[in-house]
Amino acid sequence: MDRRTGGVFGTVASIIAALLILYVLINIYNRGLDNIFSTPTIYVMAGLIVSGVFALIGYWHYTLEARWRMRNISPIALTIGALGVVLGYLYGPMLGGSLIVLAYVIELFVGIRLYEDFKSTSPTGARLFLIGVVVFMVFLPVILVAQEAALVSAIGDIVKIAGLLVVLRALME
């Protein structure tokens, strides 16, 4: 897989993941954190983990700045996130949610470097991506104590999706 194809593959997988995240955030906002580990949402979160693996595979070929972090840190974050989904289902939303937040905090270190790679493809898309990630991440831990924060985090996710779409368009030109 060449760099451009890896970028397209990783970005499409990231868009799918972001749409699944948006579903989960809206679900938290509407139904509360206690219902987040219900069976239908567990399937969505499992799909999120799978799409994260596909994004990781694509970005391995695309990234220059984030390559080391992508190969060494992202698998740890994905594993912690998957563990959070399973333990959340078994033991409740606080344990599972806390592990999922931890996974996203770890993944943030990769996302910041990925932003550098996106800048070389589309500076506008990269800025939207970074702004969306920051808004999403600032409010993600707050969701554990105030489900209303899911709405603000969802707005960040939508901005991130817009950035990814701009990057994808630039990759496909």
C-alpha distances (whole Å) from 116 to each of 46, 103, 112, 164 are 28, 21, 7, 13
C-alpha distances (whole Å) from 144 to each of 28, 61, 96, 101, 157 are 10, 35, 10, 9, 17
Q: Considering only 56-65, 129-138, 149-158, which range has the smallest mean pLDDT? A: 56-65
Mean pLDDT taken over the chain = 93
pLDDT at 58: 92
Q: Which domain holds residue 37?
A: 3-171
Longest CA span, the chain: 47
Summarize pLDDT for 116-131 with one digit per residue, the tens. Answer: 999 999 999 999 999 9
Contact 36, 93 (CB under 8 A): yes
pLDDT at 67: 80
Closest CA to 51 of 21, 93, 95: 21
Q: How far apart are CA 112 and CA 19, in angstroms?
A: 20
**Does position 35 have pLDDT exceeding 90, yes or no?**
no
How many structural domains comprise the chain? 1
Q: How far apart are CA 30 and CA 64, in angstroms?
A: 40
